[in-house]
Amino acid sequence: MNSEEISSNIGLYIHWPFCLSKCPYCDFNSHVVESVDHSRWEKALVNELTFLSRDQNKKKLKSIFFGGGTPSLMKPETVFEAIQAAKQIWDVKKPIEITLEANPSSIEYQTFNSFKQAGINRVSLGIQAFDDKALSFLGRSHDRLDAINALKAAHKSFDRVSFDLIYARPQQTIESWLLELDQALDLAGEHMSVYQLTIEKGTAFYSQYKNGGFEMPSSETAGDFYEVTNEKLSSAGLQNYEISNYAHLGSECQHNMIYWRSEDYLGVGPGAHSRLTDNGGKRKATRSLTAPFSWLKEVEAKGNALVEKNVLSISEQLTETIMMGLRLKEGVSLKKLYKLTGQTLGQLFDKEALYLLKNEGYLRIDDFYLRATDSGRQRLNGVVRCLLDSVNIPN
């Protein structure tokens, strides 16, 4: 797809906020509850979807992503009804990608065939590690054997399978990580997401870390993990198309590409965000209530639970475009930047800043794209900050 086709296509994200337990590293909008009225939640999700899509129904639906939380704890019937509602609202851009996130517990992977029948054609498993000690530290409810069994079950049910791993864990060595990657590659399909462990405020790990409960690897060591991961997965044919994501050519996650390319997406469910272009060309950002049961009551009363709805300025759109687009190996289209700002690259950013970032080997610029190099993506926060501090958008 041409990365300039922003307003003609749309992705749909549906958030299921419930988990069986809260992982100590997780800062997502996820909650542990005793019971869920699945019938109420099914109706509410479909109702908010219908309400929020009212002025977006002329677009083509490119992808659906069920995230969370743990959406594999949803009833397959709920997934089916949400997919059917979406297909009634939009024309579908075929072949459409419909992803479900799942955990590798036997309770969940036994329902894979039911989710396939509901319309899911891609599953993303939260494996996180192939080491039992590491899984215990990460607060996961599964062990290594569960992970292997879940992946085997996923491959039987779905043509497209991805899974997540976490590296740069406390006391982890490069050697043990390479052994884990060997196991991962034996079980991999066409896509894998590999994240560096970060300590986020508001998580259980944050207080443990602050109180000296464990030590994190140095930034230099984390960089070494990143480099050996790139080398290992690339040599196996999985290309690092985004900072933390690896895939065979043509198997990139189409839904996440929508985010990274700053295209349009509609978020449904507690705390879900949207970025939508209206018929007048204005780009809007929205967010729904975060607390699950407050969201539920609001949707039942009004059809939606929006708490934020803002028109994004050119400067805000530029910031998002740079921050998200430079995560991708393909980078940011210069045509896109010009269309957004009316300026060439040399007019938009300070020339000295561009020269410095190019000279240090962090940026690469050709006639069509602004790209972060592998070295630049490893230091992306600093690269983005340098660029945005030098931006010049006339009033």
- What does the pLDDT average to over 6-15? 87
As a whole number of angstroms, the distance between CA 69 and CA 140 comes to: 13
- Residue 262's φ and ψ, nearest 5 degrees, are 55, 45
Q: Does the pLDDT at position 1 exceed 80?
A: no
As a whole number of angstroms, the distance between CA 126 and CA 19 comes to: 12
395: exposed, middle or buried (C-beta count within 10 Å: 0-12, 13-18, 19+)?
exposed
Strands (E), the chain: 9-16, 18-19, 31-32, 60-68, 91-102, 122-128, 160-167, 191-196, 239-242, 245-247, 265-268, 273-277, 283-288, 306-311, 332-333, 363-365, 369-372
For residue 148, the SS3 value is helix
- The pLDDT value given to residue 183: 96
pLDDT tens across 23-68, in order? 999 999 999 999 999 999 999 999 999 999 999 999 999 999 999 9
- The pLDDT value given to residue 284: 96
- The pLDDT value given to residue 4: 42
Confidence class of residue 5 from pLDDT cuts 50, 70 and 90?
very low
- What does the pLDDT average to over 128-142? 96
Confidence class of residue 395 from pLDDT cuts 50, 70 and 90?
low
pLDDT tens across 92-105, in order? 989 999 999 999 98
pLDDT tens across 177-207, in order? 999 999 999 999 899 999 999 999 999 999 9
Q: Does the pLDDT at position 229 exceed 50?
A: yes
Return the exposure string of 289-311: e unless at least 16 CB atoms fall within 10 Å of the residue's CB, then b: bbebeebbebbeeeebbbeeeee
Confidence class of residue 7 from pLDDT cuts 50, 70 and 90?
low
For residue 308, the SS3 value is strand
Nearby residues of 297 by Cβ (< 8 Å), 6 or more positions away? none
Which pair of structure tokens corresponds to residue 179?
């052994």
- The pLDDT value given to residue 8: 87
Q: Does the pLDDT at position 81 exceed 80?
A: yes
What is the residue-averaged pLDDT of the chain? 94
Q: Does the pLDDT at position 267 exceed 50?
A: yes
Confidence class of residue 258 from pLDDT cuts 50, 70 and 90?
very high
- The pLDDT value given to residue 3: 38
Return the closest-CA partner of residue 318 out of 356, 262, 273.
262
- The pLDDT value given to residue 106: 64
For residue 29, the SS3 value is coil
